[in-house]
Amino acid sequence: MSDAPDTRRSDGPPRGGWLSRVVRLLVSNRTAVVLIAVLTGLSLIGVLYPQDRIMSAADIASLEQRWGVLASVGRALGFGSMFGSWYFLATAGLTCLSLIACTLRRVVRRRTGAPRVPSTDLANDPRAMDAGTVDADPGHLHSALRVALGPVGRLARMSDSSVDGTVRVFAETGRAGLWGSVVFHAALLVVAAGGVLTVLTWFAGQIVVSEGQTVVDARDAYMSVTREPDLGAAYSGAAITLRRITPSYEGDLLTRAQAEFEVTEAGGGSFVRQVEVNYPLEAGGKTYVLGNSGYAVQLAIKATGAALAVPARRILPAHGNLRTSHTPDQ
Amino acid sequence: MRTVGSLPEVWLTLAAAAAFGLAFAVDLLDAWRSGAAAAMEAAEGPGATRAAGWLRGMSVASAMTGLALLTTGIVLRWIGIGHPPIFGSWENAMAASWFLVVGVLVASAVWREWRFVGLGLYPGAVLTIVWGLRFNTNRIDLTISERSLWVDLHVLVAWSAYVVLAMMLCAALLSIARSSEKKRGRSLRLLRALPDAGWTDDLVAASTGWSFVGFTGVIVSGAWYSYLLFGETWRWDTVEVLALVVWLVLGLALHLRLFYGWRGARLAAVLSFGYVGVLAVYWVLALVPYASYHFFELPF
C-alpha cells in the first residue's frame, strides 16, 4: 500500500503522543499486511464454518451433535455469523483506515519532491541494486543514470545524500505506475464507503402487485419487510402501476416474463419501464426486482349459489396447477 | 457404468483431450531432451547439441488439432442449444479446457519463457475434460436468470482469469522446484531447460499481478450481475466469500513481495494455497447444493 520499503524501525521507543503513534501504525506496511492476512483468515473461517443465515435450527443442532466441542467453541466465538461479528467488522474498518493512510502517504510523499533516500542498509532493501562504487560528481552521475535507464530514466526521480563522506544516489522509478495503484486503492475505498452506505440505507421487502393494479410505496403496500434503513426514509411514496406482464415458454420452461411498469415519483415525474429478470426497476431510490411473476389467486365469491365474479381462466400451456388472476373487469 | 452419450460434441471433446495428451507427452519429451542438451552444452560448450525444433512443432500442431476439434464441439453445442457453454459442469469443462489450451498457445507464442507452461496446462485440460464427463452431458436450456449477456461476460472474464491463475500456479510450482534444487545442490534433468530461478521469480510476479487484475474483474462483473438479478451487489454467498479470500491471498502475496521481498518457495507456497481456493471456487462449491446460488449442476 506504499511504494517504498518501510525502512523506519517501529520497535524503538514510541515517539510523540498517542495520535501520532496511531498514525504511524496505520501508515505502516506491516500493519497493512497483517490486517489483510487477518481479514483473509476470518473470511476463510466464514466459508468453512456453516453460517447461521443459511442454516435452519435443526441443521445447527445436527452440527453441534456431530462436531461436539469444536462446534460449541465456534458458536461461542461467533463464527456462525462471522460477517456480522464485531471482530470481522473491526478488522475490515481498520483495513480501510490503513488503506486511506497508506494511499495518502504515497500521494503526499510523491508530491513533496525528491524521493526519500533509505536511511538503512540498501542490502536489506529487496528492490535496491548495488552498482558498486563510482568516483563521479553526483550531477554527472544523475545524467549518466538517466541515459543508462533509457526511457525509464525519464520517469525516474533521483536524489542523493552524503553518509560518512560517501555520496549515495537514489533513483526511484514507476511514477506513472504509482497512479494506477493509487486509483485502484482509492476505488477500494469507494467500494468500502458504498458498503457502509448500503448497510445504513438498506431496505428489503416483498411487494405484490397484480396486472392493472397501482401500489404506492408505503409500509402497508408491502407483504413483508425484513429490513428498514437506519438512515433516510424507508418509503418513497412513488406510485407503481403494473400495466401488463407477458410470460413466454419453451415447452414447460418459463423463459421470459416481461412486465411493463409505470412509475409516478412522489415529486411528480413519471416514466414507463420494461422489467424482467436481470432488468430491475429503479424508482424512488429503490431497486425493484421481479420475483415470482405473473400469477395470483383469484377468488370466486358466491352468494346463494350464484357466482359474482368471472371464473378463473387458464392461459398457460400444460400448467394445470397455475391459474391466472387476469379478470379485466372485476 | 455411465455411457458417454451420442452427442457429437462429446466425442469431439474426447478426441481433443487425446490431442492435448499427445501435446503434453511431446512437451515432456522435449523438456527431457532439452535438459540433456543443456547439460551437454554446459559441459562441452555451446553448439554441442542440436535443438529439436520438430518436437516443439509437433506439440503445437497436436494442441492446435485438439483445439480445432474442441472448438467444433463447442460451436455444434452452441448452435444446437442456443447458448455458449456456461451451464453445468460438462459445459464448464469444455470451456475451461478451451481457455487453458488457448492460454498455452498464446502465451508460448508471445513470450518464449512461458513455453514450459504446457507441461502444466495440457494435462490440466485433459483432467478437466475427464472431470466433466462425470456429469450430465445432455443439452439443457438455460434457466431464465442465466439468459443475460452479463452472465456471458462474467463467465468469459472468469475463464480468462482462470487461465492466468493456472499459469501462476505453474510458475509457483516451478519456483518451489528451483528452491528445492538449490537446497539439494543439484538440478533435475527435466527442469534444466526451463526458466531459471531469476526468470521464474519474474514469471511468478507477473502472473500474480495479472491474476489479481483478472480476479478483480471476476468479482466486479459478478457483483454487477448480482445487482441486476437480486438487487444486491454482495450477498455473502459462499462462492463470493471464497472468491474474496482468493483475491485477498493474491493481494497479500503482492504486498509480501513488494514490501518484504518474499521470493521463491515462500511466496510460491502462499500462491499455491490461494490456488486451492481457486479450485474450490470454480469446481467444488458449484457442486454443493444450497451452499451457494452458484449451483449449476443438473441431475442425470
Q: What is the dihedral of CA A61, A62, A63, A64, to 10 degrees?
A: 50
Cell, residue A280:
430491475
Please tell me if residue A29 touches chain B, with a CB cutoff of 8 Å.
yes
Kindly report the nearest CA distance between residue B229 and chain A, in angstroms: 5
**What SS3 state is found at A272?**
strand
Chain B: residue nearest A49 by CA?
B238
**What SS3 state is found at A87?**
helix
Cell, residue A38:
487477518
Please check whether residues B136 and B163 belong to one and the same domain.
Answer: no
For residues A109 and A101, is the Cβ–Cβ distance under 8 A?
no
Cell, residue A60:
445447527
Nearest CB to A40; choose among B228, B245, B261: B245
Please check whether residues B224 and B292 belong to one and the same domain.
Answer: yes
The answer to whether the Cα torsion of B114, B115, B120, B126 is positive or negative is: positive
Cell, residue A176:
506513472
Q: Please tell me the predicted confidence (pLDDT) of residue A150.
A: 64
Boundary (domain end) residue, out of B142, B171, B193: B142
Nearest CB to A29; choose among B148, B244, B259: B259
Report which of A308, A318, A215 is spatially closest to residue A261, judged by C-alpha positions.
A215
What is the H or E stretch that residue B213 is in? helix B197-230
Contacts of A289 in chain B (CB under 8 A): 229-231
Please check whether residues B184 and B104 belong to one and the same domain.
Answer: no
Whether residue A256 and residue B144 make contact (CB cut-off 8 A), yes or no, is: yes
Please check whether residues B126 and B260 belong to one and the same domain.
Answer: no
Amino acid at A67: W
Q: Please tell me the predicted confidence (pLDDT) of residue A275.
A: 92
What is the H or E stretch that residue A158 is in? strand A157-163
Cα separation, B217 vs A193, in Å, equals: 20
Cα separation, B131 vs B93, in Å, equals: 7
Domain count, chain B: 2
Backbone φ and ψ of B112, nearest 5°: -60, -40
Which of A2, A10, A36, A287 should one mutate to test binding to chain B, selecting the residue with the greatest count of B CBs within 10 A? Answer: A36
Cell, residue A101:
493512510
Please check whether residues B204 and B89 belong to one and the same domain.
Answer: no
Q: Which residue's entry shows cell 442456443?
A: B82
Residues of chain A with pLDDT under 50: 1-13, 119-120, 312-330
Please check whether residues B135 and B153 belong to one and the same domain.
Answer: no
Report which of A255, A84, A109 is spatially closest to residue A172, judged by C-alpha positions.
A109
Which distant-in-sequence residues (6+ apart) come within 8 Å of B81 by Cβ?
A: B139, B140, B141
- Interface size, chain A vs chain B, as Cβ–Cβ contacts under 8 Å: 79
Please check whether residues B104 and B196 belong to one and the same domain.
Answer: no
Q: Please tell me the predicted confidence (pLDDT) of residue B189.
A: 81
Residues of chain B with pLDDT under 70: 1-5, 38-52, 286-291, 297-300
Nearest CB to B228; choose among A44, A253, A280: A280
Please check whether residues B175 and B68 belong to one and the same domain.
Answer: no
Helix, strand, coil percent content, chain A, rounded in steps of 5 = 40, 20, 40
Write a three-state SS string for B46-84: CCCCCCCHHHHHHHHHHHHHHHHHHHHHHHHHHHHHCCC
Please check whether residues B123 and B61 belong to one and the same domain.
Answer: yes
Kindly report the nearest CA distance between residue B56 and chain A, in angstroms: 35
Whether residue B230 and residue A289 make contact (CB cut-off 8 A), yes or no, is: yes
Please check whether residues B55 and B84 belong to one and the same domain.
Answer: yes
Boundary (domain end) residue, out of B93, B112, B142: B142
Nearest CB to B228; choose among A47, A83, A278: A278
Which of A8, A40, A249, A288 should one mutate to test binding to chain B, selecting the residue with the greatest count of B CBs within 10 A? Answer: A40
Kindly report the nearest CA distance between residue B280 and chain A, in angstroms: 11
Q: Please tell me the predicted confidence (pLDDT) of residue A163.
A: 61
Please check whether residues B37 and B10 belong to one and the same domain.
Answer: yes
**How far, CA to CA in Å, does B1 sit from each of B6, B52, B135?**
15, 43, 13
Q: Please tell me the predicted confidence (pLDDT) of residue B106.
A: 96
Domain span holding position B230: 144-300
Q: Compute CA A167 distance to the chain's CA centroid, rounded to the nearest angstrom.
A: 48
Q: Please tell me the predicted confidence (pLDDT) of residue A130.
A: 55
Chain A: residue nearest B228 by CA?
A278
Q: Please tell me the predicted confidence (pLDDT) of residue A105.
A: 84
Chain A: residue nearest B143 by CA?
A255
- Report ipTM (2 d.p.): 0.85
The answer to whether the Cα torsion of A315, A319, A321, A322 is positive or negative is: negative
Q: Please tell me the predicted confidence (pLDDT) of residue B176.
A: 94
**What SS3 state is found at B228?**
helix
Paired with A170 in beta bridges are A159
Whether residue A43 and residue B141 make contact (CB cut-off 8 A), yes or no, is: no
Q: pLDDT tens-digit profile of B239-261?
A: 899 999 999 999 999 999 988 88
Please check whether residues B136 and B167 belong to one and the same domain.
Answer: no
